[in-house]
């Protein structure tokens, strides 16, 4: 496939991707992703006809990539002149420079979140990245567009309290409200659930060294450790996560805001993350059936 570089306008901002070779990823029937073999190179996103892309589709496919790789994701238009964020002081800068500064700042924030949560990198499209051409049908995620939009928003949060609260919003979308019975039942089923594969690498490790790590296993290990800690407090799991934690954060009161509880809320985010990923997969699987 010949790439018309002068017609590529959209790029994907996602931190820490391991993309070993030149790769084409065809998404559904209308779009594709392209990455040149030699870094540094942007990950391009385009229509097959190189036409303009509606803002809704840019946001939707960013949300898809975020969910599939569990990383905060944004798709931007390189030629867009409208500022995403307008600083208070703009003297001495032209709009393109301010845009560049803004997107660079966003990428730095996303990269810091990756270092904070993973301390590694993520393999692009998991095992499929080993192929030069990938045909990825992710149309099933249309069934959970609202849920993955909220999930991407949660991934973008630097503050653990807000990340936790946004995961609660995802679960509200999945269950049409906070359902403690769903939470208790889901916690019992998560350990044996077949999650979508995600592979990660420790920093400085490379895909060619075959040192990939099963990301879901890392999450499940921390998930189990945190639940054991909560259970030792002799509290109901549903009450703890939805009544004590969620409501305390929503109303600005209670234990979550004590300085020494920061590590706990970070671990609780891992529990909520897996509940969200489980709930989203179960929801689209049930709709497809």
Every domain of the chain and the residues it spans: 5-135, 142-288
pLDDT in tens, 159-197: 898 999 999 999 999 998 888 899 999 999 999 999 999
- Find all residues with CB under 8 Å of 235, minimum gap 6, and list them: 244
Mean local confidence (pLDDT), 121-125: 89
* Start-end of H helices in 212-251: 215-231, 237-238, 247-251
For the chain, what percent of residues have pLDDT higher than 70?
86
Mean local confidence (pLDDT), 142-155: 97
Mean pLDDT of the chain: 87
Place of tokens 């044996």: 192
In terms of pLDDT, which residue wins out, 86 or 223? Answer: 223
**What pLDDT, on the 0 to 100 scale, is given for residue 81?**
55
pTM of the entire structure? 0.91
For the chain, what percent of residues have pLDDT higher than 90?
53
Contact in structure between 63 and 173 (CB atoms under 8 Å):
no
Contact in structure between 116 and 134 (CB atoms under 8 Å):
no
pLDDT in tens, 230-262: 999 888 898 889 888 888 888 776 665 565 566
């Amino acid at each position: 496939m010949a790439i018309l570089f002068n017609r590529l306008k959209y790029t994907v901002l996602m931190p820490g991707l391991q993309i070993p070779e030149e790769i084409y990823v065809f998404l559904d029937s209308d779009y594709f992703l392209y990455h040149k073999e030699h870094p540094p190179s942007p990950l391009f996103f385009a229509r097959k006809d190189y036409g303009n892309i509606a803002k809704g589709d840019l946001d939707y496919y960013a949300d898809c990539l975020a969910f599939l790789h569990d990383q905060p994701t944004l798709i931007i238009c390189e030629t867009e002149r409208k500022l995403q964020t307008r600083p208070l002081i703009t003297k001495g800068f032209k709009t393109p420079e301010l845009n560049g500064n803004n997107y660079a700042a966003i990428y730095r924030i996303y990269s810091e979140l990756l270092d904070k949560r993973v301390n590694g990198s993520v393999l692009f499209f998991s095992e499929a990245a080993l192929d030069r051409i990938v045909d990825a049908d992710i149309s099933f995620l249309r069934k959970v567009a609202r849920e993955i939009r909220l999930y991407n928003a949660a991934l973008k949060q630097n503050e653990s309290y807000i990340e936790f609260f946004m995961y609660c919003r995802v679960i509200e979308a999945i269950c049409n409200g906070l359902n403690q019975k769903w939470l208790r039942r889901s916690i019992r089923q998560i350990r044996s659930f077949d999650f979508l594969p995600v592979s990660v690498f420790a920093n400085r490790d490379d895909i060619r060294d075959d040192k990939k790590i099963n990301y879901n296993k890392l999450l499940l290990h921390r998930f189990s450790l945190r639940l054991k800690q909560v259970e030792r407090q002799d509290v109901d799991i549903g009450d703890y996560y939805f009544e004590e934690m969620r409501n305390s954060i929503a109303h600005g009161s209670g234990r979550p805001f004590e300085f020494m509880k920061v590590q706990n809320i970070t671990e609780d985010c891992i529990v909520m993350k897996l509940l969200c990923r489980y709930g989203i997969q179960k929801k689209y699987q049930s709709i497809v059936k």
